[in-house]
Structure 1
């Protein structure tokens, strides 16, 4: 199906998606070990993962930050607990709690910017939690403090996440004004689905009507750079209502998406829902159909796939995500706030992952670094292959220039099974995932994890007793050597159904 201006019919999309799935060498994928189960699927967030990290001295690496950095700020407050979310957050905190956290965040900005030599921001990203939980005064103050510590201009991509229910707040107009006045030029909000039954099951606190109203409000304000998050693999989701969600949002004018599969963590309520009633969740085949249906729709309408799984229509994808995947050694990632993870001076690290420990560290004027690991040349090369495969592909000349070896010469034997089975393709200039290989890019990347890193993770796994509360498991955003949700490791009580 070529590029056209008309939305393809459900039958057209379904037929092409079924054809794509039928063409997958599923038995071979199982043999290769990259056909992950639904309950074990996870994207690679960091490498090496948290469980491979240990104690590090912040001043050994923070002064090595690049002059320009990607900046991430975490606002860990929400009005409800979404059943699938495993990021650091508190629900409906008291105002004094919010203010104390913000004071710690301001001190974090001052302490770490001093330690890193006051870099300027290539990109800024406010995530959570729910950044739009803050009131207008707090939003304005956060940006003022950020600009005082980190230099950035109006040209820097500045992203702010909103929850669709922000429009229910009495002061929502003031909040939207404050976000716009602060110079935000990329607005993101988590929609996840346009099916109200699914949203209720997820305890999202909004409906499809909220999404349409917010889209209209932002359009009236002249917002022209907006991205929507969607998840496939959700309870009660079908190929047809997935198609409908995409159609509704694209028809409403959305031109940028971050689309990803549902991922489970042992401590999340949705994991208990899955153990209790897995039949209401799409299986592996249905999830693959949803992925390929997305590809059919996006390609037919002229969208371009960027870092997996970002889609944009004739415009740039998230610059921060592209930098994190493709050029993190040239433009480091600097996190502020609880649970943020960063990459500075060849060191992958995490900030403190509980609000109390984060506040305690910063109130002692210490960088709030919790754990980290310095990558040697071997691990840097492996990390580069993992993340660039999930983005625009490995540029062989760039890799050769940085690491003094061609990636095929170094990793050709490890990549060969995926090349031979049509999941990766190699040219004189690049190594990239094929359309067939795209849904398995993270599974392929897992195979590049070193034996040293795997052994460190396994050693940590043996020390974890309480999967529900141990932060090493809760905040380890990696599929490497992890136990599936269904594993009898530390059974959790069933969570009550939300809907």
Structure 2
């Protein structure tokens, strides 16, 4: 039976580790780029042979910074994907890029190779804030990168922004949103800063050297985002994602809507047939495993029916469509109200959830306090 499949391809290289980043990316292993690309292409061919009935309808090349690879290495990866898998005619193929790491030739080459969506990690259009968070580009370089992508034929462009940054004011956030909107992109992702363990910011925080905006100011920033972007025609279709003209990230929707995806590369995660597993994070170990003919997966999460129900619910609740009651019943053989009836009723009374004939979804207030709602969908075991 044919299976629609998303592919996530991980490129672990970056020029400098950002101070907030806890993703598996590295700035000191540039000498492994060719060996890693060779191993990645081998894994792609191996996995393609294991999934002959899969039809790929989304590809997401993330990192790290994929555009730190040479044009030739990126084209080699894309060619291997095309050789190994069957592509849907309307496939979305996305790549992440940092401003300042792209040039017209590379962008045109990517577009010609089938990449039709690009996501720039801008974070802010304030140069002083970019320095504070460890970014290597400038605001001008960010704007210029978007213009170069548009000139190369990219019409589906996302910009990542952040709020709650050290030293950030409400006016700074408003300025960044306005510049993003003025650039004419159809998708904006905007995330609140979370200080993660193991990051430069976490170390600074422990030393008392990280001055973050107050909770009151962060809440004002959130409220301003939720008014400014929709007023400009950007639909909030997921907690942190806004799109014009239904230019949703089709690949990311797979994560939220219980659809299968295969992770390729070091640290890449997969979800197929209700199984979650991940490749080793160690880049050298990944290269060695693939070169010896082995699959590099080393972690598999036990997906009990309880865990599957919990994840089905709180991932779906991140989106404007919420939980599809019919799909829940089809997957688990039980009505969602038989499992979560009391939880749903309680959250409705708090005006955090809405229920209609088909779905259970977050209210605007529920979106604001999403993590509190998600916690209520954890079942007692």
Is TM (by shorter chain) over 0.5? yes
> In the superposition, relative to structure 1, how do residues 416 and 285 fare at CA in structure 2: closer, same or farther (>3 Å)?
farther
Residue 69 (str. 1) matches residue 5 (str. 2): yes
3-state SS of paired residue (2:197): coil
Q: Residue 347 of structure 1 is aligned with which of 275, 300, 309?
A: 275
The CA distance in 1 between the partners of 2:210 and 2:20, in whole Å, is 17
Q: Residue 148 of structure 1 is aligned with which of 72, 83, 92?
A: 83
Q: Residue 327 of structure 2 is aligned with which of 366, 378, 398?
A: 398
Give matches, 1:426-441, under 5 Å. 426-441=355-370
Give matches, 1:347-426, under 5 Å. 347-391=275-319, 392-426=321-355
The CA distance in 2 between the partners of 1:293 and 1:370, in whole Å, is 43
**Corresponding residue number in structure 1 for 2:58:** 123
Q: Alpha-carbon deviation of 1:287?
A: 2.1
Residue 295 (str. 1) matches residue 226 (str. 2): yes
The CA distance in 1 between the partners of 2:29 and 2:304, in whole Å, is 41
Residue 323 (str. 1) matches residue 259 (str. 2): no
Q: Alpha-carbon deviation of 1:92?
A: 4.7
**Corresponding residue number in structure 2 for 1:103:** 38
3-state SS of paired residue (2:21): coil
Give the conservation status (yes or no) of the 8 Å contact 1:339–1:352.
yes
Post-superposition CA distance 1:111-141 (Å, at most 9, x none): 2222233522110000000010111111111
Q: Alpha-carbon deviation of 1:246?
A: 0.3
**Corresponding residue number in structure 1 for 2:166:** 235
Give the conservation status (yes or no) of the 8 Å contact 2:229–2:242.
yes
The CA distance in 2 between the partners of 1:313 and 1:238, in whole Å, is 26
Q: Alpha-carbon deviation of 1:278?
A: 6.4
Q: Alpha-carbon deviation of 1:154?
A: 4.8
Give matches, 1:449-488, under 5 Å. 449-451=378-380
Q: How many residues align?
A: 380
> Alignment RMSD, CA only?
1.8
Give the conservation status (yes or no) of the 8 Å contact 1:154–1:183.
no
Q: Alpha-carbon deviation of 1:279?
A: 6.3
Post-superposition CA distance 1:200-223 (Å, at most 9, x none): 011110010001111221222232
**Corresponding residue number in structure 2 for 1:262:** 193
Give the conservation status (yes or no) of the 8 Å contact 2:95–2:117.
yes
Q: Residue 334 of structure 1 is aligned with which of 262, 275, 286?
A: 262
Q: Residue 112 of structure 1 is aligned with which of 38, 43, 47?
A: 47
3-state SS of paired residue (1:291): helix
> In the superposition, relative to structure 1, how do residues 354 and 441 fare at CA in structure 2: closer, same or farther (>3 Å)?
same
Which runs of no fewer than 5 residues in structure 2 stay unpaired? none
Give the conservation status (yes or no) of the 8 Å contact 2:39–2:290.
yes
3-state SS of paired residue (1:370): strand
Q: Alpha-carbon deviation of 1:285?
A: 2.6
Post-superposition CA distance 1:272-329 (Å, at most 9, x none): 223334662123332222122111012211211112211011223100111221132x
- Structure having the higher strand fraction is 2
Give the conservation status (yes or no) of the 8 Å contact 2:111–2:152.
no
| Higher relative contact order, chain-length normalized (CA < 8 Å, sep 6+) | 1
Q: Alpha-carbon deviation of 1:164?
A: 0.2
Post-superposition CA distance 1:233-274 (Å, at most 9, x none): 111111121111101111121221111111222110011223
> In the superposition, relative to structure 1, how do residues 183 and 133 fare at CA in structure 2: closer, same or farther (>3 Å)?
same
Give the conservation status (yes or no) of the 8 Å contact 1:346–1:374.
no
> In the superposition, relative to structure 1, how do residues 316 and 255 fare at CA in structure 2: closer, same or farther (>3 Å)?
closer
Name the TM-score, length of structure 1 as normaliser.
0.73
Q: Which aligned segments of 4 or more residues in structure 1 are displaced greater than 4 angstroms?
A: none
Q: Residue 376 of structure 2 is aligned with which of 437, 441, 447?
A: 447
3-state SS of paired residue (1:74): strand
The CA distance in 2 between the partners of 1:320 and 1:84, in whole Å, is 24
**Corresponding residue number in structure 2 for 1:48:** none
The CA distance in 2 between the partners of 1:416 and 1:389, in whole Å, is 15
Give the conservation status (yes or no) of the 8 Å contact 1:159–1:187.
yes
Give matches, 1:212-227, under 5 Å. 212-227=143-158
The CA distance in 2 between the partners of 1:94 and 1:185, in whole Å, is 27
Q: Alpha-carbon deviation of 1:439?
A: 2.3
Q: Alpha-carbon deviation of 1:336?
A: 0.0
Name the TM-score, length of structure 2 as normaliser.
0.94
Between 1:211-220 and 1:442-451, the stretch displaced more is 442-451
Q: Alpha-carbon deviation of 1:373?
A: 2.4
3-state SS of paired residue (2:354): strand
